[in-house]
């Protein structure tokens, strides 16, 4: 056992006649390690991007809610009438009149109007 550990430390398995097999395996393990590191790096970049987009989405949603509440406030009749008073336009004191349209049964009614 002492000889096995000693030969492993001296890396004799890389120098003997079957070393080509061992080198292929070592290169394969190194390739897998590099691939795993690159995959982890890409995963972390995507996680950071997701977090940034989530934060931006929350900011935009809160801004939307703020703008919508401002719009609702501006659309209120009291706010509109205050703005119009500043410009010298006052609400009407005469109530609106309902216009009734009656149906015309004559086909050539419009032609008679234009003659």
* pLDDT 10s digits, 88-114: 888 888 888 888 877 766 556 666 666
Mean pLDDT of 74-93: 86
Give the number of C-alpha atoms closer than 13 A to the C-alpha of residue 74, restricted to the C-beta side: 6
Backbone angles phi, psi at 79, to 5 degrees: -65, -40
Both tokens of residue 62?
Answer: 């809160």
Q: Please give the pLDDT value at position 104.
A: 61
CA 66 and chain centroid, separation: 18
Mean pLDDT value across residues 78-95 = 86
Q: What is the pLDDT of residue 93?
A: 84
DSSP for 37-67 reads HHHHHHHHHHHHHHHHHHHHHHHHHHHHHHH
């Amino acid at each position: 056992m002492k000889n096995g550990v000693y030969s492993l430390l001296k890396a004799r398995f890389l120098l003997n006649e079957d070393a080509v097999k061992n080198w292929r395996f070592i290169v394969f393990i190194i390739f897998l390690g590099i691939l795993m590191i690159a995959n982890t790096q890409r995963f972390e970049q995507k996680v950071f991007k997701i977090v940034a987009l989530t934060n931006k989405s929350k900011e935009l949603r809160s801004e939307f809610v703020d703008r919508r509440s401002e719009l609702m406030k501006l659309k209120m009749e009291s706010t509109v009438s205050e703005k119009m008073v500043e410009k010298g336009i006052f609400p009407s004191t005469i109530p609106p009149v309902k216009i009734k349209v009656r149906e015309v049964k004559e086909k050539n009614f419009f032609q008679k109007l234009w003659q």
